[in-house]
Amino acid sequence: MASFLSPHLSKPKPLLPLPLIRATSSSFSTNAAAVTAQSPPVPSLQSLEEAFGRQGIKFTETNGISSVELSVRNGSSVNLRLSDALITSYKPKVFWKDDGCRELLRTIQTSEDPSSVKGGIGLVLNDLSKLAKNNSPWSPSEWVLKEADSDSFDAVQVELGCTNGNGTLEVTYVISLYPLSLATAVIVKNTGSKPIELTSAILSHINFDSRDRTAIEGLLGCSYCAHPPPASSFGILSPAEAMRPDDSGWFGSSDAPKTGVWTVEDEKFTMLKGKFSRLYAAPPSERSKEVYRTVPSNYTTIDKGSKLSFRIIRMGYDDIYLGTPGSFAKQYSDKDYFICTGPASMLVPVVLNPEEEWRAAQVIEHDNL
């Protein structure tokens, strides 16, 4: 659909955040030849530190899970768990005085096991063309740190890789931290001989000070439908919980979500007080047209309590998922509120032919300083 723009813009579409410190590594060429059914051995903290440790990249281990802490000169930092590629903390510098860094993400401890964490920013990727024994699609679960790089001041980048057991799919997850933004990108390469169908999403659980004065700006005019979030190991609300109507008090269940009904957002600010689980997308029936109305490329979260706003930019993905817990948030915290949002390609799976690559990313940036 972008064909009528191409003669004018000579730049190709790299679709990875700039400035790229180093292009994706060529270590895949050796990996593809040596893929076995075994999972790779878990490297020790020491070996990780020796191989990848750098200014701004620090490895730590808690409860048997290694994680890496990325930080840049202005104080912003990110904490990433290596085994399941979950970003458990993102503290950008948003105020000038004192320390000035404030945690943006919400994570919760689900069970007695201290290593089970839900929330944060995570990648959901499902290979629909191949179903595992229990009829669920394959999704990446064992991540290996491939590359780490930093320019010592203002940019840090970490690359995690995962392959599926029989060498037909290679997934790379690149997390880049800059002073005012955090970019998470996914690159999927089909190294097999059959086409693959994927659905994917990058979901972030964003923290707000209070339930009342929160909104999202930028979705005006976009059509949406009620849709559950993709099932994931890190989602705070499961798909079933997200779709359940909220029946407490004033924000009652008078508008219980009906799947398949498309509405157009007619408010400039989408209030997040109520409970809903929406997918903002172009209806699949529209997509058969040559030119259809595209979903906004970015939207901003507004928190009147802390007076901060964050812009979430969608690249490569087709839809935007937005889910709010409503009164369910009280189970997890008395004062704070959170939402689950992010770019997704869920309605229409992405078809990836052999030797093709698909790239998509989410960038969270802010101008609060």
Task: Write each residue from 207 to 236 as x if it is in contact with other proteins (CB under 8 A), else as -, in one continuous string.
Answer: -------------xx---------------
Contact range with other proteins by CB under 8 A, out of 193-201, 206-214, 248-256, 285-293: 285-293
Residue closer to other proteins by CB (options 24, 277) is 24
Helices (H), 244-305: none
Find the distance separating the first CA and the last CA of the chain, reported in whole Å: 37
Task: Give the shortest CB-4-to-other proteins separation in angstroms.
Answer: 5
Task: Give the shortest CB-58-to-other proteins separation in angstroms.
Answer: 25
Q: Which of residues 311-330 bind other proteins (CB under 8 A)?
A: 313, 315
Chain centroid to CA 230: 12
Applying CB under 8 A, does 352 fall inside the site for other proteins?
no
Applying CB under 8 A, does 23 fall inside the site for other proteins?
no
Separation between Cα atoms, residue 173 and residue 14, nearest integer Å = 15
Closest CA to 91 of 110, 109, 108, 69: 69
Task: Give the shortest CB-19-to-other proteins separation in angstroms.
Answer: 10
Applying CB under 8 A, does 115 fall inside the site for other proteins?
no
Residue with tokens 């998509």: 360
Contact range with other proteins by CB under 8 A, out of 67-75, 122-130, 237-245, 360-368: 360-368
**In Å, what is the CA distance from 190 to each residue of 170, 343, 352?**
7, 22, 7
Chain centroid to CA 280: 16
Applying CB under 8 A, does 258 fall inside the site for other proteins?
no
Applying CB under 8 A, does 288 fall inside the site for other proteins?
no
Closest CA to 241 of 223, 228, 251: 228
Query: Considering just the CA atoms, what is the radius of gyration of the chain in Å?
Result: 20
Strand partners, 267: none
Applying CB under 8 A, does 367 fall inside the site for other proteins?
no
Residue closer to other proteins by CB (options 11, 133) is 11
The structure tokens listed for 289 are 């047209």
User: Which residues contact other proteins by CB under 8 A?
Assistant: 1-11, 13-18, 181, 183, 220-221, 289-294, 296-298, 313, 315, 361, 363, 365
